[in-house]
Amino acid sequence: MQKEIRQPVQQRSIETKRKIIKAGYTLFSKNGFFKTNTAQIAKEAQVSTGIVYGYFNDKKDILKEVINEYITQVYDPVFALLDNIGKKEDVEKLIKDVLILAEKLHKNSSDIHRELESVAQSDEEINKTFVSLQDQVTLRFVEKLKALNYKNITNENIHLAMNLIESYVHEAVYDKHLYINYDKLKQNVIFLIKSLFI
């Protein structure tokens, strides 16, 4: 007998559910999925432990919603940017726009990305969600840019361009390597991406 999961319709219910997701988001980011327990989530969300199971089937279910939240925050703006590429513009301009957006998104979503990727490794379902999202972004970029008659638009090139952007953004946000000059890195990334498409 499948347990009845509340589909929140009242305003208060919706907010409770959101508080839990937010708490999950925060704690999974900070401490990781496996090092976070439901009691901590409930406390962070300022609700009782019991009610968590009124809104979610299990802990993994919270994770899924956190992922949705993440997707909303990260991928939606990407797709929005994609949709707004109205006409063929200067390649460099486009690259810079993407870089600015990517950097902004990374700063906000900070640690959650890697944590989610990490959980994905041991969870086929979550892994598929992520791969599929990346696929979509790549392929939609390909489609869009081809439609706008950019040159050399291949799956492989777009894939590499995105990885390069990821390389820069990652460094810019985590600041792991002291010997990297981020402006230089950025210039080089732009240079390389331009090399791909010119």
Partner DNA sequence: CATGAATGAGGTTTCATTCAT
Partner DNA sequence: GATGAATGAAACCTCATTCAT
Using CB under 8 A as the criterion, which residues of the chain lie in contact with its own copies when the complex forms?
4, 31-35, 39, 43, 111, 114-115, 117-119, 121-122, 131, 134-135, 138-139, 154-157, 159-160, 163-164, 167, 171, 176-177, 179-181, 184-185, 188-189, 191-192, 195-196
Q: Does 52 bind DNA (CB under 7 A)?
A: yes
Total residue length of the chain = 198
Residues 6+ apart with CB under 8 A from 120: 126, 127, 129, 130
- Closer by beta carbon to its own copies, 84 or else 163: 163
Q: Which stretch binds DNA (CB under 7 A): 51-59, 65-73, 75-83, 89-97?
A: 51-59
- Closer by beta carbon to DNA, 13 or else 188: 13
Q: Does 9 bind DNA (CB under 7 A)?
A: yes
Separation CA 83–CA 100 (nearest Å): 16
Q: What are 168's two structure tokens?
A: 């820069």
Could you say which of DNA, its own copies, none residue 37 binds, taking C-beta under 5 to 8 angstroms by partner kind?
A: DNA
User: What type of residue sits at position 26?
Assistant: T
Q: Does 16 bind DNA (CB under 7 A)?
A: yes
Q: Does 37 bind DNA (CB under 7 A)?
A: yes
Could you say which of its own copies, DNA, none residue 2 binds, taking C-beta under 5 to 8 angstroms by partner kind?
A: none
Could you say which of DNA, its own copies, none residue 77 binds, taking C-beta under 5 to 8 angstroms by partner kind?
A: none
